[in-house]
Structure 1
Amino acid sequence: MSFVKDKMFVIPAVDIKDGNCVQLVQGKPGTEMVKIPNPELVALDWENQGAEILHIIDLDGAIHDKTNLMAIKNILHEVSVPIQLGGGIRSIDYAKTLLDLDINRIIIGTMGIKNPEIITELSDEYGSDRIMISLDSKDNKVLIKGWAENIDKNPSQLSKEFEVAGAGSILFTNVDVEGLINGFYINPLIELLNSTKLPIVYSGGVSSIEDLKELKRSKVNGVVIGSALYKNKIEFKEALKTK
């Protein structure tokens, strides 16, 4: 599914760790505020509630050197809506394995930031719409390696590079507010929106319908919601009305 001008997709997050759907505080292992078995059934429930896209993150892949490929395949078997998937994509071969599973869009972080030519190769072979670059930011510096390291560039600087490299879209996560369910900062997002023509999906700290309305006004192409949905701070049917 391609992004649509003047439409903001509201995208539920299904983060997978040890075969469960979880929500972590700022991505830190051991901070699970939500833990639900059978993530494929969680994904199916979001589809049944009206989700048009699902955001799947393999946390074991992002944090460790193992993947939840079986859980990912189970989700693909259960749902019919498009999936965007990230976490642990550390080789071009694994990226192609996921794309060949008919995952709609893969989200590449560290590997693509270190080797932009990989983004170009994948975009040329599979189409740029299926390649999303992940720009995770803390204190306006881009993080890599599962948020363990930062580099001396900000998201706006990198967005220009990946527009040239062939990425089809950007996932922008503000780690400063991720998982805190306490609102978000609009300025870093506006700066990024002004730096690129690529569609941008925002993630981090969204905790109210007012947050969603502000994001809609910003002209962002999508917003990922995790903790606020699972902790019932936002009702998904109400969130969908803001799209």
Structure 2
Amino acid sequence: MKVFPAVDILGGKCVQLVQGRRENATVYGSPLECAERWLSKGADALHVINLDGAFGKSRVNAGLIKDLISETGVFVQLGGGIRSTGDAFSWLETGVDRIILGTLAIEKPESITAVSDMFGKDSVVAGVDAKKGQVVVRGWEEPAGDYIEWAEKFESLGAGSLLFTNVDVEGLQNGIDAGPVRRLIENTHLPVTAAGGISGPSDVATLKSMGVDGIILGSALYSGRISLEDALEICR
């Protein structure tokens, strides 16, 4: 099971949000400093989110993200503010290994096929952000349909993997809700990376036992609730 430390970028700083709200941002320093911190502790991949892009300013942080990619040289999956296939193509050509299509995948599902056909299935992960069983978009405020049905559609369109974020527990550091993750794994053939609520070694162990392909460590990692070393040891 892969471990992706999160490097969420807002206003040029590395931050963590609670429930996706900007007003709840806690700043942890520069994105490159945070990335290098996790790499020094054994990480070999990063989950980078351009939060300014997610909030409608897609080109903000672009130069900073490009520098991070070139400076670290590790596997990077990137999301946030990818509003067109052109945006996706541009990031993949820049050196991002895998792009996360969220709102774009819901509003223009054919974009998954376009990216997959051009760069290969492994280059595109479809974001399944779920709240009470419904995929949610636009700041996790608008429901867009059953998350299992969307996952099945993304698979048929050519996504190489799924990123499942359980919005109900995301950022709260109170542990995972295993049920929705298990249901997703049982209903798709795609590798699933899980995010939301991972707060301690027992959560990591549970997800590994379920067959999750990867995990995103965010708030609990930055607050010290879980150490990267412990998570990597469990995954090995």
Shared fold, TM over 0.5? yes
- 3-state DSSP class of the match of 1:12? strand
d(CA) in 1 for partners of 2:101, 2:209: 27
CA–CA distance in 1 between the matches of 2:67 and 2:140? 27
Distance 1:240 1:38 in 2: 23
Identify the residue that residue 118 of structure 2 maps to in structure 1. Answer: 125
> Residue 139 of structure 2 aligns with which residue?
146
Residue in 2 that maps onto 1:111: 104
TM-score by length of 1: 0.94
Report matched runs for 1:212-231 at 5 Å.
212-231=204-223
Question: After superposition, what is the alpha-carbon deviation per residue over 1:61-91, rounded to whole angstroms, capped at 9, x for unaligned?
Answer: 1122343211211211221210000001001
Residue aligned with 1:98, SS: helix
What SS does structure 2 have at the residue aligned with 1:150?
A: strand
Q: Percent identity?
A: 43
What TM-score does the superposition give when structure 2 sets the normalisation length? 0.97
User: Aligned match of 2:84 in 91, 99, 107?
Assistant: 91
The residue correspondences of 1:5-154 to structure 2 (distance < 5 A) are: 8-32=1-25, 34-66=26-58, 67-151=60-144, 153-154=145-146
Give the superposition deviation at 1:205: 0.7
Contact 2:85 2:114 in 1 (8 A): no
- Bigger mean CA deviation after superposition, 54-63 or 43-52: 43-52
Find the aligned partners of 2:111 and 2:231 in 1 and give their Cα distance. Answer: 35
Q: CA RMSD in A?
A: 1.0
| Equivalent residue, structure 1, for 2:166 | 174
> Where does structure 1 differ by over 3 angstroms across 4 or more consecutive aligned residues?
none
Contact 2:194 2:212 in 1 (8 A): yes
In structure 2, distance between residues paired with 1:113 and 1:41:
33
Distance in 2 separating the partners of 1:148 and 1:17: 20
Where do 1:142-221 residues align within 5 Å?
142-151=135-144, 153-221=145-213
For residue 228 of structure 2, what is the aligned residue in structure 1?
Answer: 236
Aligned partner of residue 162 in structure 2, secondary structure: strand
Distance 1:157 1:112 in 2: 13
Q: As a proportion of its length, which structure holds more strand?
A: 2
Decide whether the 8 Å contact of 2:175 with 2:200 is kept in 1.
Answer: yes
Gaps of 5+ in 1: 1-7
Could you list the per-position Cα deviations for residues 165-206 of structure 1 after superposition, in whole angstroms to 9, with x for gaps in the alignment? 000000000000000001010000011001100010000011
* Secondary structure, aligned partner of 1:16: strand
Aligned partner of residue 21 in structure 1, secondary structure = strand
Contact conserved, 1:41 with 1:78, CA < 8 A, in 2?
A: no
Where does the alignment leave 5 or more consecutive residues of structure 2 unmatched?
A: none
- 1:53 is displaced (CA, Å) by 1.3
